[in-house]
A and B are shown apart, each in its own frame.
Chain A
Amino acid sequence: MAECPAQPGAPAASPTARRPRVRRRRTVAIVGPPNSGKSTLFNRLTGVRQKVANYPGVTVEQRVGRLRHAHDQEIDLIDLPGVYSLEPRSEDEQVAHDVLTGRMPGMRRPDAVILILDSTNLARHLLLAAPVLGLGLPTLVVLNMADALSDRGGDVDTAALARQLGAPVALVSAAKGEGLEPVLEFLTGEFGVPRPVELPVIQDVPKCREWAVRVGARAGYRAPAPPVWTHRLDAVFLHPVAGPLVFAAVVVAVFQTIFSGARPLMEGVEFLVNRSGAWVAATLPESAWRDLLVEGVWGGVGSVVVFLPQILLLFLFIGILEDSGYLARAAVIADRTMARVGLQGKSFIPLLSAYACAVPAIMATRTIENKRDRIATILIAPFMTCSARLPVYTLIIAAFIPEQPLVGNLLGTRAAAMLGLYVLGFAAAVATARLLKSSILKSERTPFLLELPPYRWPTVRSLGLRLYDRARLFLRRAGTVILAAAVLLWVLAHLPLIDGAPPPLEASVAGTIGRLIEPVIEPLGFNWKIGIGLVTSLAAREVIVGTLGTIYGIEGDENSIGLREALQQDLTPAGAVALLIFFAFAMQCISTLAVVRRETGGWRWPLLQFAYMGALAYAGAFLAHRLVSAWTA
């Protein structure tokens, strides 16, 4: 079973040798263990020229980026999922294995491989070198975190290591962008097949380990001192009392900031939207097209775009928590609680990222080995308050809850209401997990194995890339789904024409649909206008804001009446609370349903999820409406 590296070399080596600097596209895969800084290197090399897709048939994200080089040469970089080995056991490892061996359907085998390893943890990370070098592809071994290695007194002789591995070795700091010249040289130069060296039997981990230690020793590897700061920080963050308190404080601070800190930015965007809308209305001649543009596009899309700063701020915080390594600690703290509902700490990480969006969160569940745990996590993830709920919550809270300091200047009533909704979503998720894990998804307790990476400063570059990605995605969504919904709604609100003129909103097609469902939603305190919003928000939650923007834009004589004021006329306080509860529970997101279907391999789970969440939303909103009505009466 020994992997013999003396395989024939990759076919890529010969054409480049014959015709150097051809305009041929090269493909290079980046592979490395989790926490080796793989994505940092990938981002460093490709910048914003990257796209994310999915491998056919599986849910593993495929990130491909392009590196354009001076000699008209284009290099596609593939960021493979982080793996400890190439044994195809988990989906991640299967993908890495298939891509590197050329078995991934529809994909050419990469021309070369960059193997990235954490230089501060070399003995262990070298385990992956054996199977990767065994592939026989041209390989560059990148030892990352050179800065941490030297700061903590570690050392390695790269030339000696290169001799031991039979492949070139570069010592870099991807986060700081230092030492990357050899990487660029490798990518653009001629590929050489690794010199055959003796490699261990990769199935035998202890043997591989011995080999790795021996190779490290021969390369003069001196392991760095333990990360003192990580230990110091963990003494606080994992402290029995201080740990959970710090966690709670972080959460509260995040909410207060996304609520109050984003305000000036949002007002700025709102100002721009309103001004440009007014300009369009004043410039264009009066026509149905102008109305569509002003009421449909500006009223609909504009009222959603206003929330961009808030969503970016949320993603900034989640990015900092993720990149700094704090999220893994949060998972450790949460494991006991998660165990009580039948899940494990690893489920906590997708759940936390579901605060941003359920779609990537559901894809992140693939790190959970147990199938039943994974399905349970997928089913509860949409209860977590995603960023699409943020515009809805913000709008209703701002319209109905007066701002008053609650805990000095630390927490206001509005931020507290927002926090309450987040807690509500989390509680629903936990209760549902308990229900699922004690009934249809019962399984034995699964082991929890989680590596805690040393704390690192998040880099401005990586955070910037995240925000750029998110902003692009959000605006694209505003320009497609939300725009289409706004235009369709505007048209439906203007048909059928009566004597060539649009009917009153109530008599229009949209109004009829709204009134059709009014009897169903009346017990919740919603009228037919909110009903139209509920229907359109089935596509995506934030669409309701755009829809209401369009409706009130059509209704209002001069588009002067604000969305907030208009809502205050249409909803009682009880109805507003019911609407918040409804949005906290209901599954109004086509993208999530599609991902769940793909993830779970059928319609069974997404349909169950949709029905369950819908029933809970209805019941919760009904109860909330009753209770608040009785209380305020």
Chain B
Amino acid sequence: MLLQLIFTKQAEAASPAAPAGARTLAELDEGGQAVIEAIEAPPDIARRLMELGFVPGSTVTAARRAPGGDPRVFRVDGSEVALRRETAAQIRLRPSRPG
């Protein structure tokens, strides 16, 4: 929780446009961790994402970015998956509660 809080602070500092922290996976900063709330992608893609481990309730860590910043590698459920920004933006994160 503390880690998450620290991370939220960082996210705020990095992108003032997202005051409530990262709302989607695309906004999650490198090294940041969050819990998936919902997947808002077309059914086929949503299913593929879930099969790869992006299930609501799972914790995701943003790992590194490819050269140029996109796609990004996420750690979820013991494996690493590369996603482009537009797909990451379809994965909604659970709002991090302060405290």
A residues lining the B interface (CB < 8 Å):
84-85, 87, 89, 120-121, 123-124, 127, 205-206, 209, 223, 226, 230-231, 234-235, 238-241, 243-244, 328, 331-333, 335-336, 339, 344-345, 369, 445, 447-453
Q: Does B70 contact A (CB under 8 A)?
A: yes
> How far in angstroms is the closest Cβ of chain B from A304?
40
Whether A206 lies near B67 (C-beta < 8 A) is no
Whether A240 lies near B83 (C-beta < 8 A) is no
Whether A226 lies near B48 (C-beta < 8 A) is no
User: Which of chain B's residues have a CB closer than 8 A to the CB of A336?
Assistant: 66-68, 70-71
> How far in angstroms is the closest Cβ of chain A from B68?
5
Whether A449 lies near B68 (C-beta < 8 A) is no
Q: Please report the C-alpha to C-alpha distance between residue A174 and residue B37 in the assembled complex, in whole angstroms.
A: 37
Binds A, one of B6-14, B17-25, B49-57: B49-57
- 12 A-B pairs with CB atoms under 8 Å apart are A87-B47, A124-B52, A209-B50, A223-B78, A234-B63, A238-B66, A240-B67, A332-B66, A369-B44, A448-B84, A449-B52, A450-B71
Q: Please report the C-alpha to C-alpha distance between residue A223 and residue B59 in the assembled complex, in whole angstroms.
A: 15
User: Which of chain B's residues have a CB closer than 8 A to the CB of A328?
Assistant: 82
One of B44, B57, B70 near A206 (C-beta < 8 A): B57
User: Which of chain A's residues have a CB closer than 8 A to the CB of B51?
Assistant: 84-85, 127, 205
- Contacts A333-B66, A451-B80 known; 8 new A-B pairs at CB < 8 A: A84-B48, A89-B44, A89-B47, A124-B78, A226-B78, A238-B66, A328-B82, A449-B83
Given contacts A206-B50, A206-B55, contact A238 B73 (CB under 8 A): yes
Q: Does B40 contact A (CB under 8 A)?
A: no
For chain B, give the interface size range.
20 to 34
Whether B70 lies near A452 (C-beta < 8 A) is no
Whether A238 lies near B64 (C-beta < 8 A) is yes
Whether A448 lies near B64 (C-beta < 8 A) is no
Chain B, residue nearest A224 (CB):
B78
Q: Please report the C-alpha to C-alpha distance between residue A115 and residue B58 in the assembled complex, in whole angstroms.
A: 25
Q: Please report the C-alpha to C-alpha distance between residue A461 and residue B87 in the assembled complex, in whole angstroms.
A: 38
Q: Please report the C-alpha to C-alpha distance between residue A240 and residue B48 in the assembled complex, in whole angstroms.
A: 28
Given contacts A205-B51, A205-B55, A345-B82, contact A226 B75 (CB under 8 A): yes
> How far in angstroms is the closest Cβ of chain B from A231?
8
User: Which of chain B's residues have a CB closer than 8 A to the CB of A84?
Assistant: 48, 51-52
Given contacts A127-B51, A206-B56, A448-B82, contact A241 B67 (CB under 8 A): yes
User: Which of chain B's residues have a CB closer than 8 A to the CB of A451?
Assistant: 52, 79-82
B residues lining the A interface (CB < 8 Å):
41, 44-45, 47-53, 55-57, 63-68, 70-71, 73, 75, 77-84, 86-87
Q: Please report the C-alpha to C-alpha distance between residue A452 and residue B73 in the assembled complex, in whole angstroms.
A: 8
**A-B interface, 3 closest residue pairs, ranked by CB to CB distance from nearest:** A84-B51, A205-B50, A452-B80
Of listed B44, B51, B56, B65, residue having the most chain A CB within 10 A: B51
Q: Please report the C-alpha to C-alpha distance between residue A205 and residue B58 in the assembled complex, in whole angstroms.
A: 13
User: Which of chain B's residues have a CB closer than 8 A to the CB of A331?
Assistant: 82
> How far in angstroms is the closest Cβ of chain A from B78?
5
> How far in angstroms is the closest Cβ of chain A from B58?
8
Given contacts A240-B65, A449-B83, contact A121 B78 (CB under 8 A): yes
One of A123, A333, A450 near B67 (C-beta < 8 A): A333
User: Which of chain A's residues have a CB closer than 8 A to the CB of B75?
Assistant: 226
Chain A, residue nearest B71 (CB):
A335
> How far in angstroms is the closest Cβ of chain A from B64?
5
Whether B77 lies near A447 (C-beta < 8 A) is no
Q: Please report the C-alpha to C-alpha distance between residue A450 and residue B51 in the assembled complex, in whole angstroms.
A: 12
> How far in angstroms is the closest Cβ of chain A from B54?
9
Q: Please report the C-alpha to C-alpha distance between residue A14 and residue B64 in the assembled complex, in whole angstroms.
A: 54
Q: Please report the C-alpha to C-alpha distance between residue A435 and residue B55 in the assembled complex, in whole angstroms.
A: 38
> How far in angstroms is the closest Cβ of chain A from B71?
5
> How far in angstroms is the closest Cβ of chain A from B40?
13
Q: Please report the C-alpha to C-alpha distance between residue A333 and residue B55 in the assembled complex, in whole angstroms.
A: 26
Q: Please report the C-alpha to C-alpha distance between residue A254 and residue B23 in the assembled complex, in whole angstroms.
A: 44
Whether A447 lies near B86 (C-beta < 8 A) is yes
Whether A123 lies near B77 (C-beta < 8 A) is yes
User: Which of chain A's residues have a CB closer than 8 A to the CB of B78?
Assistant: 120-121, 123-124, 223, 226
Of listed A234, A243, A336, residue having the most chain B CB within 10 A: A336
One of A205, A234, A345, A445 near B64 (C-beta < 8 A): A234
Given contacts A124-B53, A235-B64, contact A335 B70 (CB under 8 A): yes
Q: Please report the C-alpha to C-alpha distance between residue A369 and residue B55 in the assembled complex, in whole angstroms.
A: 21
User: Which of chain B's residues have a CB closer than 8 A to the CB of A230?
Assistant: 80
Whether A452 lies near B82 (C-beta < 8 A) is yes
> How far in angstroms is the closest Cβ of chain B from A614?
36
One of A85, A127, A449 near B81 (C-beta < 8 A): A449
> How far in angstroms is the closest Cβ of chain A from B87?
4
One of B41, B65, B67, B87 near A448 (C-beta < 8 A): B87
Whether A447 lies near B45 (C-beta < 8 A) is yes
Whether B87 lies near A121 (C-beta < 8 A) is no
Whether A240 lies near B68 (C-beta < 8 A) is yes
Whether A448 lies near B83 (C-beta < 8 A) is yes
One of A127, A209, A235, A450 near B82 (C-beta < 8 A): A450
Q: Please report the C-alpha to C-alpha distance between residue A466 and residue B97 in the assembled complex, in whole angstroms.
A: 53
Whether B84 lies near A332 (C-beta < 8 A) is no
Q: Please report the C-alpha to C-alpha distance between residue A124 and residue B58 in the assembled complex, in whole angstroms.
A: 11
Whether A445 lies near B80 (C-beta < 8 A) is no
Q: Please report the C-alpha to C-alpha distance between residue A87 and residue B43 in the assembled complex, in whole angstroms.
A: 13
User: Which of chain B's residues have a CB closer than 8 A to the CB of A445?
Assistant: 84, 86
Q: Please report the C-alpha to C-alpha distance between residue A191 and residue B52 in the assembled complex, in whole angstroms.
A: 32
> How far in angstroms is the closest Cβ of chain B from A202?
11
Q: Please report the C-alpha to C-alpha distance between residue A560 and residue B25 in the assembled complex, in whole angstroms.
A: 69
> How far in angstroms is the closest Cβ of chain A from B56?
6
User: Which of chain A's residues have a CB closer than 8 A to the CB of B81?
Assistant: 449-452
